[in-house]
Chains A and B, each alone.
Chain A
Amino acid sequence: MTDAQLTDTALIARLLDGDPSAGQLLYDRLIRIVDWTLHRLLGRSQADHDDLVQSAFEQIVTTLYKDTFARSCSLTSWASAVTTRIALTELRTQQRRRKNFGARVELEEQSLSSPIANIEAQTAARLELERIRRVLPLVHPDNAQVLILHELNDLSLSEIASTLGLSASAVQTRLWRGRKELLERLASEDRELQ
C-alpha cells in the first residue's frame, strides 16, 4: 500500500506512534482543504494566512492526540470543521478590531475562479464577499459552522452529523437557524446602509 492509499485510521495510528513521516502525509492530505477553507472565508494576506494554516494543523494534531476526533468521518471533513472554527474566530477578532479601533476595511484583491466580465461586476462581487464576511461572525458560531460546512464545503448533512457528533435533526436545525440568522443580518445591514 502506498502512502497515498493509507487509510485515515492507519495514518492517525502512525502519527500517534510518533512516526515523523506521518506528519508529512497528514500535511499533504489536508493542506488543500485547510488552505481553501481559510481563503474562502477570510481572503487573508499571505503572512497571516500561513499562521492560520499552522494553527489549523496544530489543532488537528492536538485533537487527534486527545482523541476528540470522531473517527466515523473522514480526516478531510474533520479538517474542514476545525479550520472553519478557526476562520470564524478570526472573523470575530477582525470584527472586534473594527469596532474598537475603527479600522478601515480595505477591499482585497480576490482570486475569483469564475471570470466576471467587467470591472463593475468584479467590484460588486468583491463587495458582496466582504459583506458576507462582515456579517458571518454575527451568526451564532455553532450555526455558522454547520452552514459553512454544508453550503461552502459541500459536506452532506450526515457527514456533518458524524463529524460534529450531532444527530441529523440537530444538524438540520442548526443549518436552518444559520441561514435565517445570516439572511436577517444581511437584511439588517442593508437597512442600516439605506
Chain B
Amino acid sequence: MTDPESSSPLRSLQRVSSPERSPEAEAQRRQRVLQRITQLQTELSARPESRTRFTSVARRLFGENLRVGPRARYLAGALALAAALILVFSLSRSPHANLQLDSGLVFVESSHGRLTLDGTRRFELASGDALTTESDPAQLHLPSHAALALEPHTRVYLSPTQGNQNTTPDDHLRLERGLVSLRVPKLAPGQQLTVSTGDALVQVHGTEFSVEVIERPGQAPITRVSVNEGIVSVTRASERILLNAGQSWSSGSAATAPAAASEQSTAPQPAPAEPPPAEPTAPEPAASDVVTANSAPTPAASVGHASDLAEQNRLFLSARQARNSGNTALALQQLSSLMQRYPGSELAHNARVEHFRTLKAAGRLSEARASAGQYLRQYPHGFARAEATRLSAP
C-alpha cells in the first residue's frame, strides 16, 4: 500500500510558470472579461433572489461569519415578513409606475443606488427616481402607453399620478438634460401627459413630439420643442402657445425653430391642471419666443371664401363628433385649429365656447377656466358670457 504522506507528485506542477503575454493580448483579454462581468452585473442584479439577498444583507449587518441555522432562518422569515409589510405600506403611500423597456440601455437612479437595465423588460419606477442614458439611446413605454425615446446623455424624472377616473394614470416627465421624443396615443378623457423643463411646460393632446434641453456654457439652458404629428401646448411663464405638426418652438431668444404658431398670448393663468413637480431654475423669460409659422396658414380674417367656410364647418363638425364620441384630444385639436386658422370668423366664436365646454366635460377644470377667461376677453358681449363668467369665477 502506498503511503500518501510520503510524496507529493503535484509539487512538480509548481515549477510551471505562466507564459509571458504581450500587453496587447492582455489588454484584449481584460476588455473581454470586463465586458462579460458588466453584462453579468446587469443580468444578475435585475433578478435578485430574496433568500440570498437577505443572507447578504444579514451578513453585512451581523458580521462576516454569520451561519444560517434553523433559528436564524426563523429570524430571517420574521424579518422578511416585517420588511414585506413595510414595503407594502410604503408602496401604498408613494406612487410607482410600471414601465416597459423596449430596447437600448437605461439606468435607474434612486436613493438605493443605480440599476442598469437593457434588452426588453418591465420595471418599476418610484416617484423621484431618475432615468438616465449614457452613450446609448433607449426606448420605453410609459404607463399611459406613450412611447418614450431617450437620446444619449439624457436624464428624465417621471412623476406618475392617478388620472381623473382612477384608471388612467397621468404621466408627468421632468427633463433635466438631453432629448426625449414621445409618441402619444389617444389619451383618455381627462388624462394628461406633460413634459416640463427648467423654463417650459409641454402638454400633450395626442401627438408625436420631442423636447430638448440645450445646455449653454455660462448661460441658462434653453428648451426646444418640435411637433411631428398632432398638437401640443407649451406654457412658459404666463404664456401658452399651441404647436401643430411640423412646428417647433424654442425658449431661447434666438429662435432656431423653423415654424411655430401662437394661439393665446396674454392669458393670465393658462397653465394646465396640476403642473408636474418641475423645479424651474432658469431665469424668467424676457419675452415671447414664438416664431411665426412659415408654412402654416396665415391667421388672417379670411372669412368669405367658400372653401374657407367649408373647411371651418368641417373642423367644427369634426370637433363636435369627436367630443360626442369621447375623443377629447381630437375635439380640442380641431377646435384649436379652427380658432388659429380663422380667428375672425363667426365659427371661431362658437369654437371658443365649444372649447371650454369640452374641457369642462373632460374634468380639466383649470384649463376650462382659462379657456372661459379667454372667451370673455375675446367676446365680452358673446352669447355664452354668463356661462363663461360662472365657469371662470374662482
Contact = CB atoms under 8 A, between A and B. Distances in A.
Given A62-B40, A111-B18, A186-B9, 6 more contacts: A18-B42, A61-B44, A67-B52, A68-B52, A132-B12, A180-B2
Nearest to B29: A50
A114 B65 contact: no
Interface residues of B, number: 44
A179 B3 CA distance: 9
- How would you classify the secondary structure of chain A's contact residues: helix, strand, loop or mixed? helix
B52 A43 contact: no
B2 to A, nearest CB: 4
A41 interface: yes
27 contacts: A9-B60, A15-B41, A18-B45, A18-B114, A23-B34, A43-B16, A54-B36, A57-B37, A61-B40, A61-B44, A65-B48, A110-B16, A111-B18, A111-B19, A112-B15, A114-B15, A125-B12, A129-B16, A132-B12, A147-B10, A151-B10, A152-B13, A177-B4, A179-B4, A183-B7, A183-B9, A186-B9
Contacts, number: 129
Interface stretch (A32-40, A75-83, A96-104): A32-40
B217 interface: no
B65 A72 contact: yes
B374 to A, nearest CB: 51
A113 B16 contact: yes
Contacts of A54: 32-33, 36
B284 interface: no
Contact of A17 (B30, B65, B114): B114
B11 interface: yes
Given A13-B60, A71-B59, A187-B2, A151 B16 contact: no
B38 interface: yes
A178 B8 CA distance: 11
Contacts of A22: 41
A148 B40 CA distance: 28
Given A18-B113, A50-B29, A187-B2, A27 B44 contact: no
Contacts of B8: 151, 179
B38 A23 contact: yes
B73 to A, nearest CB: 14
A71 B18 contact: no
A168 interface: no
A24 interface: yes
Interface in A4-62: 9, 13, 15-18, 20, 22-24, 26-27, 31, 35-36, 39-41, 43, 46, 50, 53-54, 57-58, 61-62
